């Protein structure tokens, strides 16, 4: 595995992992709220065919974590982060895969830098709006936006709330080591950053409406964090969007059904990289 420090928006240093053939079509994995690039561990087999790249978002994992809300509310900064990874690593025929909050990051990139440098997108349990653009029907009782204990500095309460949040992310319990890794990854993110991620406003649907590349929306029918109608709305907003609503699946399809996820993603990325789609770019 290759490790990079990429300079993103505002000079933030981003931790990026990179494996697979450097000249292959790229899969750029963007994790969700209060998570970490390690959440994509089960996608490592895709490096046999693709260049598999994953970053720790600003404020997460081994990336810089500015202690200023403005560093997380500015759409342009999120867009600049993804642009920096694509350009500094020289990624080609890139498909952006965004889990949950990662869909907001993808929308920020497209809004800031356009679509010419990418081949397609895959929102996975993706949000479609934050801030003033978020409508009541988009959130559930288990949404992290509604649990104040996820933002407290009281570590006992924070640990308990985080463990429950990760448990709520899946339809059935994950293997013990996977569950433990996801809880640990969440605990690396400070309460300030967790709160700041919900600052600012963006409606991804407005961005999706002008996106003319292929898009695959993967959503769990049992998602208790980002409710299934959000996935349906995302696919409807994307001109070339296809909805894959998986039964008996929660908020983390890539961890709950990794082989199925990897197969679906490989098929989509291969199709997105065909000459017909390249010409459309």
For the chain, give every domain's residue range: 2-273
- Give the chain's mean pLDDT: 95
Q: Has residue 278 got a pLDDT over 80?
A: no
Question: 145 or 45, which is more confident?
Answer: 45
Work out the pLDDT band at 8, boundaries 50, 70, 90.
very high
CA distance 270 to 281: 15
Total residues found in the chain within this entry: 281
Q: Sort 65 into a burial class: Cβ within 10 Å, 0-12 / 13-18 / 19+.
A: buried
Contact criterion met (CB below 8 Å) for 129 and 204? yes
Q: What is the pLDDT of residue 273?
A: 85
Strand partners, 13: 7
Alpha carbon 105 to chain centroid, angstroms:
7
User: What is the mean pLDDT of the segment spanning 28-40?
Assistant: 97
pLDDT in tens, 152-208: 999 999 999 999 999 999 999 999 999 999 999 999 999 999 999 999 899 999 999
Q: What is the pLDDT of residue 200?
A: 87
DSSP-derived secondary structure for the chain? -EEEEEE-GGG-EEEEEEES-TTSPEEEEE--TT--GGGGGGGGGGGGTSEEEEEPPTTSTTS---S-THHHH-HHHHHHHHHHHHHHTT--SEEEEEETTHHHHHHHHHHHH-STTEEEEEEES---EEGGG--GGGB-TT-GGG-GGGG-S-HHHHHHHHHHHHHHTSSSPPPHHHHHHHHHHHHTS-HHHHHHTT-S-EEHHHHHTT--S-EEEEEETT-SSB-HHHHHHHHHHSTTEEEEEETT--S-HHHHSHHHHHHHHHHHHHHHTSHHHHHH-
Question: 163 or 276, which is more confident?
Answer: 163
Q: Has residue 257 got a pLDDT over 50?
A: yes
Question: What CATH architecture applies to the domain 2-273?
Answer: 3-Layer(aba) Sandwich (3.40)
Q: What is the pLDDT of residue 79?
A: 98
Q: Helix 102-113 crosses helix 75-88 at what angle (to 10 degrees)? A: 80
pTM of the model: 0.96
Q: What is the pLDDT of residue 281?
A: 44
User: What is the mean pLDDT of the segment spanning 26-48?
Assistant: 98
Contacts of 206 (CB under 8 A, 6+ apart): none
């Amino acid at each position: 595995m290759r490790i990079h420090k990429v300079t993103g928006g505002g000079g933030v240093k981003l931790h990026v992992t990179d494996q697979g053939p450097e000249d292959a079509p790229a899969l750029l994995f963007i994790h969700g709220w209060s998570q970490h690039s390690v959440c994509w561990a089960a996608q490592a087999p895709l490096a046999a065919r693709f260049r598999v790249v994953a970053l720790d978002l600003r404020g997460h994992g081994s990336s810089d974590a500015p202690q200023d809300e403005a560093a997380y509310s500015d759409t342009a900064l999120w867009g600049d982060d993804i642009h920096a990874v694509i350009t500094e690593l020289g990624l080609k025929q890139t498909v952006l895969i965004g889990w949950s909050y990662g869909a907001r990051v993808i929308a920020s990139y497209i809004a800031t830098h356009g679509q010419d440098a990418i081949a397609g997108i895959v929102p996975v349990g993706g949000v479609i709006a934050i801030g003033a653009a978020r409508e009541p029907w988009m959130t559930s009782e288990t949404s992290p936006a509604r649990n104040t204990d996820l933002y407290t500095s009281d570590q006992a309460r924070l640990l308990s709330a985080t463990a429950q949040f990760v448990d709520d992310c899946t339809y059935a319990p994950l293997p013990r080591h996977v569950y433990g890794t996801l809880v640990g990854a969440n605990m690396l993110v400070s309460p300030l950053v967790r709160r700041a991620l919900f600052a600012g406003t963006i409606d991804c649907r407005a961005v999706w409406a002008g996106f003319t590349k292929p898009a695959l929306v993967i959503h769990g029918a049992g998602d208790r964090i980002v409710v299934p109608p959000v996935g349906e709305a995302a696919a409807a907003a994307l001109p070339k969007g296809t909805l894959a609503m998986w039964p008996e699946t929660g908020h983390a399809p890539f961890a709950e059904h990794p082989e199925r996820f990897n197969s679906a993603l490989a098929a989509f990325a291969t199709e997105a990289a065909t000459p017909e789609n390249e010409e459309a770019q």
